[in-house]
Chains A and B, each alone.
Chain A
Amino acid sequence: MKPAVLALGVVLALAAPEVVQPSEQPRTGGVLRAAMIGEPPTLDLHTTTAVIVQQITWHIYETLFTYDRQYNAVPMLADTHTVTDNGRTYLVKLRRGVKFHNGKELTSADVVASLRRWGRLATPGKAAWRNVEGVEAKDPYTVAMYLKEPSGSLLQVLARPNNGAAIYPKEIADGAGDQPIKEYIGTGPYRFVEHKPDRHIRLARFKDYVARTDPPNGPGGKRVAYLDEILFVPVPDVAVRLAGVETGEYHYGQQIKPDQYERVKTVRDIVPGIIKPAGWTTAVLNHKQGLMTDKRIRQAFQAALDMEPILAAGWGNKTFYRVDPSLMHVEQPQWYTKVGEDAYNQRNPAKAQKLLKDAGYAGQPVRWITTKEYEWMYKNALVARQQLEAAGFKIDLQVVDWATLVQRRNKPEVWDVFSTGITFNPDPAYNTGVQCNWPGWWCHEEKDRWLDAVARESEPSRRKAMWGKVQAIFYEDVGRVKFGDFFTLEVTRKELHGYHPTGEMAFWNVWLSK
C-alpha cells in the first residue's frame, strides 16, 4: 500500500508542484466545504449545459471516457475499445465489477439506456447522434455503437464533462424518459446524500468505489475519495466567498474577482488558483435577421474594435486576460492557430466608416443585449460601444438580467448583438462558438462543411488544418466577434492538497491535512 500511496504522491507532486509538498502524505477524512456561485438548476447532467451542474455532478456520475491532462480522450468506465468496419463501428468493453451507488453492478444495459437518453436530450449528444445509427448491448460487458460515417470526435464527445454522457442505472434513465431524473445515482467516487436548496448539496465517499488502476492523469486514471464528505454551499456574494475562505469556513471559493488577486497573494493560509484558459469573451451577431445580416456591417463592427481596452475594462488585471485571435487556446497546441488574425483587433475606425458607408448604414440603432450579472460582459460592451460609436455606429445597449438575456437571444427579431463567453472547449467540433443551430445562427455552407469534416476526420494534423479553415471563415465572414481570452480566479485553503485549478473543478485525489 505504502509504495502506491507514495507513487501517487509523486505523481501529484509532479502535476502541481506549487500546491503539494512531496513530503505530504494524503490523509483520509474530513469534510470539504466548497463555496459555489449559486445553485445548480438541476442535477440531471443530460439535460443542461450549465457549468455548475457538471462541476458538482461529475463527482457522482462517470462517463465511458474522460480526458487526460492534454485533453485526449482516455477510458474511464470503459476498459478498452476497438474500431472496425472502416471506422463505423465502435466496440467498447466495460470494466467489470464497477458498482453503482445503489449496489447494482454496471452492465452494458445501463450504458445503452443512458447513451440513448443523452443522445436524445443533451445538446452535444444530439449533435453526436446525427451520425449515430444505433447503440446496442453485445453482451453484459460490451457495448456497440454504429455510426453512419466514420468519426474523429466520437470519443471526444463521449469524454466531455459538460452536458456529458453520464452513465445512470438503466431503471433511472428509462424511468425518467425526457423528464428530469429523480434519483442521483452513478458510479463515481462520491455518492449523492442530500440537496437542501440554498443550504448545501452533500456528497459522501462511496466506499464500494472501484477505481481505475492507471495513475491519475488530469481527470483520467485512478480516482481516490480521500474526503469523508463534500459540501457544495451556494454563496452568491463574491465578497462573502472570499471572506469565508479567509476565515476557514470554506476550503474552496470559486469565481473570485480578479481585482482581489494582488491582495489574496499576500493573505496567509489561502492559495490563489488561476483557471487558464477559462474561455473567450465575445459579441454574438445575429445572422438571421436585422442589420447584422449584412456582411459589410459585420466587418465594420470587427474593424472598429481595439481589444486591449475592452478586455482591460472587463478584468482589470492583465493576469486575467489575453489578446489573441485563436478560437482554441494557445494551451491547446493541437488546435492553436493564428489563421485570420489580420481581421482581429484591427483598431481601424476609418475602415469601419467606409464599410458602413458602402453598406448604406444610416444610423439605425444596433440592439445589443448585455448583462451586469457577469460584470465583464457589461464592461466589455460599454467600452466596445464607445469605440463603435466613434466609427459611426449607433448602439442601443440593453442591460438585462441573465435569465432575460438567455431567453431573448432565442428570438432573432429582438436583437442584433448579445454578450456572452464561450467556455473552454477541448475539441472544436462541438464548440458553441461556431455552431449554426445556436443563437446567432451563423450558418455558412463552407464553414459547416469544414466543421463536419473536423468531426469526421481522425488524423490529428489533418483535423487541425480543417479547423484552420473554419477559423479563417470565422474572421472573413465575421461569424462572431471575439474580444479575447479570459481566465478566472479561485481560492483554496492551504490545508487543501492535491487540487488543480481547472474549469471542471475536481475534488477526488484531493485531501485535507487538518
Chain B
Amino acid sequence: MKTYVARRLLALIPVILVVATVAFVLIHLAPGDPASIIAGPDASPDDVARIQRQLGLDAPFHVQLFRWYGRLARGDLGQSIFLRRPVLEAIVDRAEPTILLTLYATLIAVTLGVPAGVVAARHHDGTADQALMAGALVGISIPNFLLGLLLILVFSVRLGWFPVAGYVPLESGWLGTLRSLTLPAFALGVVQSALIARIARSAMLDVLREPFITAGRARGLSERAVVYKHALKNAMIPTITVIGISLAILISGSVIVEQVFNIPGLGRLIISAVLRRDYPVIQGVVLCIAGIYMLVNLAVDLSYVVFDPRIRYQ
C-alpha cells in the first residue's frame, strides 16, 4: 500500500511538468497582454511598450519559458503582475473560501443525492422514484450560475435570509462564513446532487438484483437490513467514484459561482487573472488545480479499500 501511494505521488511529477508547459504555452499564445490593461484604454502604444519592458514581456518566448522552468524548479511560482505579491501566497490566501465552498457543496450534494438515489431505487418505478428522477433531471439541466441568481432573487432580495454576495472569512466567526457560503454551496451542490442521485439509484438497482440480496431476503432479513446494510455498501463504489469526480467538477464549477456570489476564492483569482492576462497567476492556479485533481483521484482510489475489502493495492 505504501509503495503504491509513493509510486502514485512520483507519477505526479511528469504530469505537473506537462501541465506547466501546456499552461505556459497556451496562455502566452493567447492574444492580449497585461501591459495594455495596466496602461488603460487611452494609452498610446509607446506607453504600452514601456510597461512591457518593465514586466520583462519583451523577452523572446523561449527565454520566458525557461525562466518559468527555472523558477518552478526552485518551487517558486513567480510574482503576480497585478497583485504585486508571490503567486503561491495569493493562492494560499484564496484557498480558504474555495475549499470550504467545495466541501460545503459536496456535503449538500451527498446528503441530498445519496438518500434520494436509495429511496428512488427502493421504490423503483413508483411515484417517489419518478418524482425524484424528474427533480434530478431539472437539477442536472440548470446551469449553476442561473440557479445562483435565482437563489439570490428569492432568498436574499425577497426574503432577506442570506447576503446577496460576499464572503465572511472564518476568522470573523464561522456562523458568518456559513451564512455567506450557503447560497453558493446550494447553487453548486444541488446540480451535483442530481448527478449523484442518478448514479446511486442505478448502482442500487444493479445491486438489488444480485443473488446475495435474494439470499438475504430468503433468510428472512428485514428489508431495512437488506437495503442499508448489504445493498448500500455494495452500491457505494460507483457512487464514490462519482462523488470524487463531482468534487473535481465542483472545484472548477466554483469558478463561475464565485464570480456570481463575489467570493474571493481561487475561481475569482483565476478569472480576474485571465481577464487581465496575469500570466504567473494563471499558470500557478492551473498547476494547483491540476494537483488537486490528481490528489482527489488518488484519495478516491484509496477509499475503495474501505468499501470493498477484496480490493488491494500493491
Residues of A whose CB lies within 8 Å of any CB of B are 38-39, 41-42, 47-51, 53, 121, 123, 126, 162-163, 178-180, 182, 196-199, 233-237, 239-240, 243-244, 246-247, 249, 373, 400-408, 410, 420, 423, 432, 435, 437-439
Residue contact B38 to A47, C-beta cutoff 8 Å: yes
Asked whether any CB of chain A lies closer than 8 Å to the CB of B250, the reply is: no
Residue contact B149 to A239, C-beta cutoff 8 Å: yes
Report A97 CB to chain B, min CB distance, Å: 33
A178, A406, A435 pick with most chain B CB within 10 angstroms: A406
Contact residues in B for A180 (Cβ distance below 8 Å): 84
Q: A-facing mask of B153-166, CB < 8 A → 1, else 0?
A: 10011001001111
Question: Nearest residue in A to B149 (C-beta to C-beta)?
Answer: A239
Of residues 269 through 306 on chain B, the ones whose CB sits less than 8 Å from some CB of chain A are 269, 271-272, 275-277
Complexed CA–CA distance, A235 and B42 (Å): 24
Contact residues in A for B156 (Cβ distance below 8 Å): 243, 247
CB within 8 Å for A420 and B275 given contacts A198-B269, A406-B32? no
Contact residues in B for A401 (Cβ distance below 8 Å): 32, 275
Give which listed residue, A53, A198, A247, contacts B268 with CB less than 8 A: A198
Asked whether any CB of chain A lies closer than 8 Å to the CB of B41, the reply is: yes
Residue contact A247 to B262, C-beta cutoff 8 Å: no
Interface-side segment among B43-51, B126-134, B241-249: B43-51
A47, A240, A244 pick with most chain B CB within 10 angstroms: A240
* Interchain Cβ contacts within 8 Å, total number: 141
CB within 8 Å for A247 and B164 given contacts A50-B41, A406-B41, A420-B41? yes
Nearest 4 A/B pairs, CB to CB: A49-B40, A403-B32, A49-B42, A50-B40
Asked whether any CB of chain A lies closer than 8 Å to the CB of B203, the reply is: no
CB within 8 Å for A198 and B264 given contacts A41-B82, A403-B33, A403-B36? yes
Give which listed residue, B42, B51, B84, B261, contacts A163 with CB less than 8 A: B42
Residue contact A199 to B264, C-beta cutoff 8 Å: yes
Residue contact A237 to B262, C-beta cutoff 8 Å: yes
Give which listed residue, A42, A163, A243, contacts B152 with CB less than 8 A: A243
Sample of 27 A–B contacts (CB below 8 Å): A38-B272, A41-B276, A42-B82, A48-B38, A48-B43, A49-B39, A49-B42, A50-B41, A162-B42, A163-B42, A182-B84, A196-B264, A198-B268, A235-B262, A237-B260, A239-B149, A240-B262, A243-B164, A247-B164, A249-B163, A400-B32, A403-B32, A403-B276, A404-B30, A406-B41, A407-B36, A423-B41
Contact residues in B for A435 (Cβ distance below 8 Å): 44
Report B125 CB to chain A, min CB distance, Å: 41
Give which listed residue, B32, B45, B160, B268, contacts A439 with CB less than 8 A: B45
Contact residues in A for B37 (Cβ distance below 8 Å): 41, 50, 403, 406
Of residues 36 through 83 on chain B, the ones whose CB sits less than 8 Å from some CB of chain A are 36-48, 50-51, 54, 82-83
Give which listed residue, A51, A126, A198, A400, contacts B272 with CB less than 8 A: A198
Asked whether any CB of chain A lies closer than 8 Å to the CB of B252, the reply is: no
Q: A198-B272, A403-B275 are in contact. List 10 more A-B contacts (CB 8 A).
A: A48-B38, A48-B40, A50-B41, A123-B44, A163-B42, A199-B264, A402-B275, A406-B32, A410-B36, A438-B42
Asked whether any CB of chain A lies closer than 8 Å to the CB of B21, the reply is: no
Contact residues in A for B51 (Cβ distance below 8 Å): 47
Question: Nearest residue in B to A239 (C-beta to C-beta)?
Answer: B149
Residue contact A407 to B83, C-beta cutoff 8 Å: no
Provide the main secondary structure of the chain B interface. Answer: helix
Asked whether any CB of chain A lies closer than 8 Å to the CB of B211, the reply is: no
Contact residues in A for B268 (Cβ distance below 8 Å): 198
Residue contact A41 to B40, C-beta cutoff 8 Å: yes
Complexed CA–CA distance, A438 and B48 (Å): 11
Report B278 CB to chain A, min CB distance, Å: 10
Question: Nearest residue in B to A436 (C-beta to C-beta)?
Answer: B44
Complexed CA–CA distance, A420 and B41 (Å): 9
Contact residues in A for B309 (Cβ distance below 8 Å): none
Complexed CA–CA distance, A233 and B165 (Å): 11
Contact residues in A for B220 (Cβ distance below 8 Å): none
Give which listed residue, A196, A247, A408, contacts B31 with CB less than 8 A: A408
Contact residues in A for B165 (Cβ distance below 8 Å): 235, 237, 240, 243-244, 249
Asked whether any CB of chain A lies closer than 8 Å to the CB of B259, the reply is: yes
Contact residues in B for A51 (Cβ distance below 8 Å): 40
Report A471 CB to chain B, min CB distance, Å: 19
Report A60 CB to chain B, min CB distance, Å: 17
Give which listed residue, A182, A237, A403, A438, contacts B44 with CB less than 8 A: A438
Of residues 155 through 207 on chain B, the ones whose CB sits less than 8 Å from some CB of chain A are 156-157, 160, 163-167
Complexed CA–CA distance, A405 and B31 (Å): 8
Residue contact A407 to B33, C-beta cutoff 8 Å: yes
Contact residues in A for B44 (Cβ distance below 8 Å): 123, 126, 435, 437-438
Residue contact A178 to B31, C-beta cutoff 8 Å: no
Residue contact A240 to B41, C-beta cutoff 8 Å: no
Complexed CA–CA distance, A420 and B45 (Å): 16
Question: Nearest residue in A to B36 (C-beta to C-beta)?
Answer: A406
Report A331 CB to chain B, min CB distance, Å: 20
Residue contact B45 to A410, C-beta cutoff 8 Å: yes
Contact residues in A for B261 (Cβ distance below 8 Å): 240
Complexed CA–CA distance, A47 and B149 (Å): 37
Complexed CA–CA distance, A438 and B272 (Å): 26
Question: Nearest residue in B to A406 (C-beta to C-beta)?
Answer: B36
Complexed CA–CA distance, A243 and B260 (Å): 12
Report B67 CB to chain A, min CB distance, Å: 19
Complexed CA–CA distance, A408 and B36 (Å): 10
Residue contact B42 to A237, C-beta cutoff 8 Å: no
Report B284 CB to chain A, min CB distance, Å: 14
